[in-house]
Amino acid sequence: MSTESISITVDTHAARTFCQAPPEERRKIEILLGLRLRELTSKDARCLKEIMDEIGARAEAKGLTREMVESMLRDE
C-alpha cells in the first residue's frame, strides 16, 4: 500500500506527545489515525453531525460544559 503525507492541526499537547514519541510509536499512531480517517470518510460513515453529537454527549457526561469546550477550542 502506498502512503502520502498530510498535515492536520491538533492541540499543543497532542502535537508534543506525538513528536516526543519513539519512531515505532509514531508509526503506530499514524496507522491508527489513517484507519480512523478512512472509516470516517467511507460511504457508510456516520454524518458529521452525528459524530459531533456523540462527542458532545461524551464531553457532557465527563462534566464538560459547552462553555468549557468552546474555551478549549479557542485555546484560552
- Structure confidence by residue, pLDDT tens digits, 2-52: 889 999 999 999 999 999 999 999 999 999 999 888 887 877 667 778 888
Indicate the pLDDT class of residue 76, thresholds 50, 70 and 90: low
Asked whether residue 29 is domain-assigned, the answer is: yes
Q: Domain count for the chain, please give it.
A: 2
Same domain, 21 and 36: yes
Q: Based on the domain organization, do 17 and 39 belong to the same domain?
A: yes
Q: Is the pTM of this model over 0.85?
A: no
Residues 34, 53 within the same domain: no
CA distance 72 to 63: 14
Say which amino acid occupies 51.
Answer: I
Same domain, yes or no: 53 and 72: yes
Q: What is the pLDDT of residue 44?
A: 67
Q: Is residue 5 part of a domain?
A: no
Task: List the domain range (segments joined by +) for residue 60.
Answer: 46-76
